[in-house]
Amino acid sequence: MTEKKITVGIIQQQNTGDIADNKKRLKHHIEQCAAKGAQLVVLQELHNSLYFCQIESTNNFDLAESIPGESTEFYSRIAGELHIVLVTSLFERRAAGLYHNTAVVFDTDGSIAGKYRKMHIPDDPAYYEKFYFTPGDLGFTPIKTSIGTLGVLVCWDQWYPEAARLMALQGADMLIYPTAIGWESSDTPQEQKRQQDAWIISQRGHAVANGLPVVAVNRVGHEPDPSGQTNGIQFWGHSFVCGPQGEILAAAPDDSEWCEVVEIDLTRSENVRRWWPFLRDRRIDSYNDILRRFID
């Protein structure tokens, strides 16, 4: 069995309302990762701007852009110059009145290797994403790149084992989750810990169940609520990488920016699946009811 390793750059960033500055700092951090040997760099969800979904405002649709467009040109150029695979997360304007939360993956030559439109769209206090995003229609399809096949999902998708499984069944080498999640100001410290632990456990569970590494990249820092109805969101950072047995390979702090490179040994996925052949033992003849909303 040929050994295969990939070095992954993780960029956890605190954003401001200055989009140009956010992109400038992202470029600098991407270059830092590449200088450390990163072959693949992953950015957080909706990384160009503040997390605008704290409120429902039609003015925020001005933040959306076409794909391809200005941002894809910007990140394409970076990926091509640095010869890296780059996973980005953009607010896509598909047509007037039709918008998606879309991950775009660039290959080492700067070309668009593929895109994924977020499938699961939340609608919770301070996370009013259903107002902005139409659910994805590209399916749970991995994106093939020159360094491997990437199972790219986005944030709320990370709670759904079905999404991770479908990516794994189509040959994904790893699962990747650009993310924007944090604490609302009224949460108690005990509730904050429960939420963060559940977030980590859920994704480590996807790694174990599918025998795949997981890369989760979250934003960090406080972003105020423009409406003033809440005290805003404290994004909890804690970006992390885990291996195919759920083992933590690297984890970022909760309260500061982080830019690191992590080596992932894809050979371990092959070995773990030999030891724990979960895919072999699936009872696919008995899962028809999974397509039902609820079994009553």
What pLDDT is recorded for position 230?
A: 87
Does the pTM surpass 0.95? The reply is yes
In the block, tokens 């885990």 appear at 242
**47: DSSP letter:** T
What pLDDT is recorded for position 105?
A: 98
Catalytic status, residue 5? no
| Edge-to-edge strands, sheet with 233-236 | 182-184, 233-236, 220-223
CA distance 218 to 213: 17
Q: Give SS3 for 62.
A: helix
Catalytic status, residue 260? no
Nearest alpha-carbon partner for 276 in 245, 235, 249: 245
Nearest alpha-carbon partner for 56 in 108, 162, 133: 133
What six digits make up the tokens of 264? 């992932």
* Confidence band of 187 (pLDDT split at 50, 70, 90): confident
Catalytic option among 33, 92, 129, 155: 155
- What is the mean predicted confidence (pLDDT) over 172-184? 97
Q: Give SS3 for 286.
A: helix
Q: Is the pLDDT of residue 3 over 90?
A: no
Catalytic option among 23, 53, 118, 259: 118
What does the pLDDT look like over 217-234, one tens digit per residue?
A: 999 999 999 998 888 999
- ω before 189 within 30° of 0 (cis)? no
Strand pairing class (174-179; 148-152): parallel
Q: Is the pLDDT of residue 151 over 90?
A: yes
Catalytic option among 23, 45, 92, 184: 45
Give 232's contacts (C-beta < 8 A, 6+ positions apart).
Answer: 54, 126, 185, 222, 223, 224, 225
- ω before 68 within 30° of 0 (cis)? yes
Nearest alpha-carbon partner for 279 in 210, 205, 206, 212: 210
- What is the mean predicted confidence (pLDDT) over 4-15? 97
Amino acid (one-letter) located at 275: W
Q: Please give the mean pLDDT across all residues of the chain.
A: 97
What does the pLDDT look like over 54-105, one tens digit per residue?
A: 999 999 999 999 999 999 999 999 999 999 999 999 999 999 999 999 999 9
Catalytic status, residue 242? no
What does the pLDDT look like over 46-67, one tens digit per residue?
A: 999 999 999 999 999 999 999 9
- What is the mean predicted confidence (pLDDT) over 107-133? 97
